[in-house]
């Protein structure tokens, strides 16, 4: 296998840093008590754990809850080590310190083939890449939630922090009771000794803070009581009685509301604004012009006494909009340009194996196909918003953000102050899906708050603004080519894809520190194509990175979301070409990937692959690895009177060690429904710079009546935890499409699967 040494040479740019680090131990993520908020009634034992007077455990929470259950899962790690009921873990938002940075999210950007890490020892190139990026991640300490990484990133540091706190508490009790520490047990929040002595943690917190924990190790797997159970989520009461606070629910004294209107032409701006009529409306106070900020289009915000007054005002402004200097964007032109780039360019090789040229020359039969996927919007239920107050040189923001580190930096830049002057309050997120890794709406809120004389202002986007000014999943196209040998066996697979890279554009907007002068090859463009588990002898996967100009961003499961559709549909085509059952065909190619095979088999078995179905129904299967987890899905579909219906989706997942199987099942259900809306109907069209879809009426979503039954089966594993929020999505579109092929004999090679003209809704 060819070593992908380019990443190392790319990182050579930071060589000087690396030399300096080489002699330093990896930065500890345990932190110190002063990383946490000092209060009267709580004692911090390290940077993650405080013990409250009443014995409750307070956990510093750096990850954003956007539905994926991370507040519950991370609390479980700590409750396990400290032997407290889950409900006795309270959350405190983590501060900005580097110990809270997400290291695993950045490790996920390394373009290594997952099979490299399947066996025993990892190749040197993988180890070196992980070492450098791991170190970089710890030094930068970027606090972010994304890449299905929260549990795998928190797995070691949180358990270590809680185990350290545990050791200090036990040590303090041992000293006070004058008994050996080894004789003290912890149960349900209490320290106990056989002599009858007992006390809750709050009684030993102060003494514990002064007690060295000694050498600490987390509990052994066999001693787990909580990890691995479907503990109820801790965030549901507020989410069933209206009291949960999302970004839009922040209410502050004297708060004003602002509505945003941006150039309807992406990247455009206002040549002139006539605000007279708007300012004459009741409740409207002022109009603030907005430059293009962190990748957004330019426009303006109207400040008023309620959101509704502000939106009325925004509509009353007469704006002369102008296109971006490079001219208006058009998705039809972009689709054609991708094909012509595929004709002309060879792209960057992400993976090669064997001798593809020779294999193609000697092959006796060639199978080729061309696939495409459209731009997509995130359409979080809670539209973009941020509340900000700028007063006395200080900035305070309340934001539903996936990346507080960048939000803080963006707020500081917008206000022209140092980051130390900015306080970020992270609210609950009404969905994220990658959209809230952007900071355009943060900077807008701060800019507006600078004009309101110190009064706080809640800036929010209408649904139309949200859909029309997203950072879209990029349009991609791929050409796949396989050759069969004389015996009719597939001997080679070549994939060339084209589409915009996300990571370099995102870094420019959200983490400029990481943005380089030239684009590095971006793993997200080719993930799901270059990293297949199938044992084709000769492989070649390349990507042509384009710059079409449409703002593109991370969309739940990113490159995998469309690339799995390309690769797993084509695998089905190859099964057909070799007259093999799709399940059997995959099995025959997975001899070198036993974990993948086990997941595939589990899904097939649970779905009763091959058994009889009602007339007019058919099954399709797909298998895909992403974010450290392997998922197989079997979809059962029918088409009646021209209507596609997905009845049931059986999922099997190997996500390593499972913290909460109930949450894993929730995330599989979520990914299936999210993926199905996109697979059937999702499509963003741009004409003369203007996004044509603007609300759920023409960017339709699956509703309850159309939702399939989703079953989840989990492979038992003792590996480190993998991701859960995203991996269920990539196999969905190909499983459905493969089922439709089984039903109709027609292969669908473009997303969405259902024609746009017939998706008009009638709610």
The answer to whether 556 touches 433, Cβ cutoff 8 Å, is: yes
Q: What are phi and psi of 691, to 5 degrees?
A: -70, 130
5 binds other proteins (CB under 8 A): no
Q: What is the enclosing helix (H) or strand (E) of 208? A: helix 205-209
What's the closest the beta carbon of residue 149 comes to other proteins, in angstroms? 18
User: Where in 722-741 is the site for other proteins (CB under 8 A)?
Assistant: 740
240 binds other proteins (CB under 8 A): yes
What's the closest the beta carbon of residue 275 comes to other proteins, in angstroms? 16
User: Where in 320-379 is the site for other proteins (CB under 8 A)?
Assistant: 379
User: Where in 399-458 is the site for other proteins (CB under 8 A)?
Assistant: 428-433
What's the closest the beta carbon of residue 695 comes to other proteins, in angstroms? 6
Q: Which is nearer to other proteins, 180 or 242 (CB)?
A: 242
From 75, 275, 380, 539, residue interacting with other proteins (rule: CB under 8 A): 380
* Preceding omega of 752 cis (within 30 degrees of 0): yes
From 36, 248, 329, 450, residue interacting with other proteins (rule: CB under 8 A): 248
What's the closest the beta carbon of residue 432 comes to other proteins, in angstroms? 8
Q: Which is nearer to other proteins, 455 or 645 (CB)?
A: 645
From 302, 702, 715, 735, residue interacting with other proteins (rule: CB under 8 A): 702
Residues 588-617, mask of contacts with other proteins (x by CB under 8 A): --------------------------x---
3-class DSSP state of 511: coil
Could you tell me the two tokens for 399?
């934001």
What's the closest the beta carbon of residue 680 comes to other proteins, in angstroms? 7
**CA gyration radius, the chain:** 27
Residue 706 DSSP code: G
The answer to whether 702 touches 341, Cβ cutoff 8 Å, is: no
User: Where in 52-71 is the site for other proteins (CB under 8 A)?
Assistant: 65-69
Instruction: Spell 111-148 as b/e; 16+ CB within 10 A means b.
Output: bbbbbbebeeeeeebbebbbebbbbbbbbbbbbbbbbb
What's the closest the beta carbon of residue 299 comes to other proteins, in angstroms? 18
700 binds other proteins (CB under 8 A): yes
Q: How do strand 490-500 and strand 538-546 relate by DSSP bridges?
A: parallel
From 22, 119, 242, 253, residue interacting with other proteins (rule: CB under 8 A): 242
Q: What are phi and psi of 544, to 5 degrees?
A: -100, 105
Q: Which is nearer to other proteins, 429 or 598 (CB)?
A: 429
What's the closest the beta carbon of residue 288 comes to other proteins, in angstroms? 19
74 binds other proteins (CB under 8 A): no
User: Where in 515-554 is the site for other proteins (CB under 8 A)?
Assistant: none
Give me the helices (H) in 481-545, please: 503-510, 523-526
What's the closest the beta carbon of residue 482 comes to other proteins, in angstroms? 24
Handedness of CA 429, 430, 436, 439 (dihedral sign): negative
3-class DSSP state of 44: strand
The answer to whether 401 touches 436, Cβ cutoff 8 Å, is: yes
23 binds other proteins (CB under 8 A): no
Q: Which is nearer to other proteins, 304 or 575 (CB)?
A: 304
Chain position carrying tokens 């490790």: 107
Taking CA atoms, 188 is separated from 85, 86, 179, in Å, by 6, 10, 21
User: Where in 198-237 is the site for other proteins (CB under 8 A)?
Assistant: 232-233, 235-237
What's the closest the beta carbon of residue 11 comes to other proteins, in angstroms? 36
Strand partners, 397: 388, 424
Total interface residues for other proteins by CB under 8 A: 91
746 binds other proteins (CB under 8 A): yes
Q: Which is nearer to other proteins, 503 or 653 (CB)?
A: 653
Which part of the chain contacts other proteins (CB under 8 A), choosing from 104-112, 303-311, 478-486, 489-497? 303-311
Residues 623-652, mask of contacts with other proteins (x by CB under 8 A): ----------------xxxxxxx-xx----
Taking CA atoms, 435 is separated from 45, 227, 396, 554, in Å, by 35, 30, 22, 7
Which part of the chain contacts other proteins (CB under 8 A), choosing from 445-453, 528-536, 590-598, 700-708? 700-708
Chain position carrying tokens 């039809």: 332
From 339, 580, 695, 717, residue interacting with other proteins (rule: CB under 8 A): 695
The answer to whether 583 touches 638, Cβ cutoff 8 Å, is: no
Strand partners, 460: 259, 385
d(CA 704, CA 690): 31
Which part of the chain contacts other proteins (CB under 8 A), choosing from 295-303, 342-350, 598-606, 697-705? 697-705
Q: Which is nearer to other proteins, 127 or 308 (CB)?
A: 308
What's the closest the beta carbon of residue 252 comes to other proteins, in angstroms? 10
383 binds other proteins (CB under 8 A): yes
3-class DSSP state of 121: coil
From 176, 245, 362, 717, residue interacting with other proteins (rule: CB under 8 A): 245
d(CA 310, CA 705): 36
User: Where in 280-299 is the site for other proteins (CB under 8 A)?
Assistant: 281-282
d(CA 202, CA 55): 4
The answer to whether 630 touches 600, Cβ cutoff 8 Å, is: no
Chain position carrying tokens 């502000």: 310
Give me the helices (H) in 64-181, please: 70-82, 103-107, 124-140, 150-177
From 6, 131, 224, 246, residue interacting with other proteins (rule: CB under 8 A): 246
Q: Which is nearer to other proteins, 689 or 700 (CB)?
A: 700
User: Strand (E) positions, 641-708?
Assistant: 643-654, 686-687, 690-691
What's the closest the beta carbon of residue 64 comes to other proteins, in angstroms? 10
Chain position carrying tokens 């990748």: 295
Q: Which is nearer to other proteins, 103 or 684 (CB)?
A: 684
Q: Which residues contact 374 (CB under 8 A, 6 or more apart)?
A: 331, 475, 682, 683, 684, 685, 751, 752
From 10, 188, 366, 709, residue interacting with other proteins (rule: CB under 8 A): 709
User: Where in 645-684 is the site for other proteins (CB under 8 A)?
Assistant: 645, 647-648, 662, 666, 669-674, 680-681
């Amino acid at each position: 296998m060819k070593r992908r040494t380019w990443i190392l040479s790319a990182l050579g740019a930071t060589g000087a840093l690396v030399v300096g680090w080489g002699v330093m131990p990896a930065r500890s993520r345990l932190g110190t008590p002063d990383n946490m908020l000092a209060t009267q009634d709580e004692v911090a034992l390290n940077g993650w754990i405080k013990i409250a007077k009443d014995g409750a455990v307070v956990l510093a929470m750096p990850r954003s809850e956007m539905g994926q259950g991370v507040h519950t899962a991370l609390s479980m790690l700590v409750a396990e080590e400290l032997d407290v009921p889950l409900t006795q873990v309270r959350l405190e938002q983590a501060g900005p310190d580097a110990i809270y940075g997400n290291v695993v999210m950045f490790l996920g950007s390394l373009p290594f083939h997952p099979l490299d890490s399947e066996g025993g020892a990892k190749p040197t190139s993988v180890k070196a890449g992980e070492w450098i990026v791991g170190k970089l991640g710890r030094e930068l300490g970027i606090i972010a939630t994304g890449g299905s990484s929260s549990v795998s990133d928190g797995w070691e540091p949180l358990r270590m922090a809680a185990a350290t706190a545990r050791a200090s508490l036990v040590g303090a009790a041992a000293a006070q009771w004058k008994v050996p520490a080894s004789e003290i047990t912890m149960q349900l929040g209490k320290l106990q000794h056989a002599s009858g002595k007992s006390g809750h943690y709050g009684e030993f917190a102060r003494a514990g803070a002064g007690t060295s924990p000694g050498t600490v190790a987390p509990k052994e797997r066999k001693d787990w009581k909580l990890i691995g159970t479907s503990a109820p989520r801790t965030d549901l009461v507020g989410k069933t009685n209206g009291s949960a606070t999302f970004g839009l629910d922040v209410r502050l004294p004297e708060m004003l509301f602002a509505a945003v209107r941006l150039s309807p032409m992406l990247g455009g701006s206002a040549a002139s604004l006539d605000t007279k009529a708007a300012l004459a409306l009741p409740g409207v106070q002022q109009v603030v012009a907005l430059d293009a900020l962190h990748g957004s289009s330019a426009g303006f915000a109207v400040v008023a006494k309620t959101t509704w007054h502000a939106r009325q005002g925004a509509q009353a402004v007469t704006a002369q909009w102008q296109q971006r200097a490079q001219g208006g964007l058009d998705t039809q032109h972009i689709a054609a340009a991708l094909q012509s780039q595929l004709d002309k360019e060879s792209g960057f090789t992400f993976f090669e194996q064997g001798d593809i040229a020779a294999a193609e020359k000697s092959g006796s039969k060639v199978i080729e196909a061309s696939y495409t996927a459209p731009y997509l919007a995130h359409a979080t239920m809670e539209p973009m918003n941020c509340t900000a107050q700028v007063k006395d040189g200080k900035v305070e923001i309340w934001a539903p953000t996936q990346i507080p580190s960048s939000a803080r930096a963006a707020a500081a830049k917008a206000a022209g102050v140092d980051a130390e002057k900015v306080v970020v309050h992270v609210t609950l997120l009404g969905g994220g899906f990658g959209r809230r890794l952007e900071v355009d709406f943060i900077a807008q809120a701060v800019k507006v708050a600078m004009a309101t004389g110190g009064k706080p202002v809640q800036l929010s986007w209408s649904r139309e603004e949200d859909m029309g000014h997203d950072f879209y999943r990029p349009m991609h196209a791929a050409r796949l080519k396989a050759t069969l040998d004389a015996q009719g066996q597939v001997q080679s697979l070549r994939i060339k894809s084209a589409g915009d890279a996300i990571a370099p554009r995102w870094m420019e907007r959200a983490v400029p520190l990481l943005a380089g002068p030239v684009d590095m090859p971006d793993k997200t463009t080719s993930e799901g194509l270059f990293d297949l588990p199938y044992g084709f002898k000769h492989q070649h996967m390349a990507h042509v990175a384009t710059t079409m100009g449409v703002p593109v961003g991370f969309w739940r499961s990113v490159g995998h979301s469309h690339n799995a559709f390309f690769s797993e549909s084509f695998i089905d085509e190859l099964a057909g070409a070799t007259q093999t059952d799709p399940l059997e065909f995959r099995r025959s190619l997975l001899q070198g990937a036993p974990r993948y095979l086990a997941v595939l088999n589990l899904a097939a078995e649970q779905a009763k692959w091959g058994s009889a179905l009602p007339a007019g129904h058919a099954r399709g299967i797909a298998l895909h690895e992403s974010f450290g987890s392997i998922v197989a899905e079997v979809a059962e579909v029918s088409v009646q009177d021209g209507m596609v219906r997905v009845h049931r989706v059986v999922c099997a997942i190997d996500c390593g060690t499972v913290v909460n199987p109930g949450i894993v099942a929730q995330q599989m259900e979520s990914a299936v429904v999210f993926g199905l809306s996109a697979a059937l109907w999702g499509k963003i069209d741009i004409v003369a710079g203007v996004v044509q879809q603007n609300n759920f009426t023409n960017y339709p979503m699956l509703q309850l009546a159309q939702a399939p039954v989703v079953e989840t089966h989990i492979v038992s594993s003792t590996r480190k935890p993998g991701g859960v929020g995203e991996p269920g999505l990539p196999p969905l579109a190909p499983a459905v499409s493969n089922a439709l092929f089984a039903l109709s004999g027609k292969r669908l090679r473009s997303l969405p699967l259902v024609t746009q003209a017939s998706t008009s809704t009638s709610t």
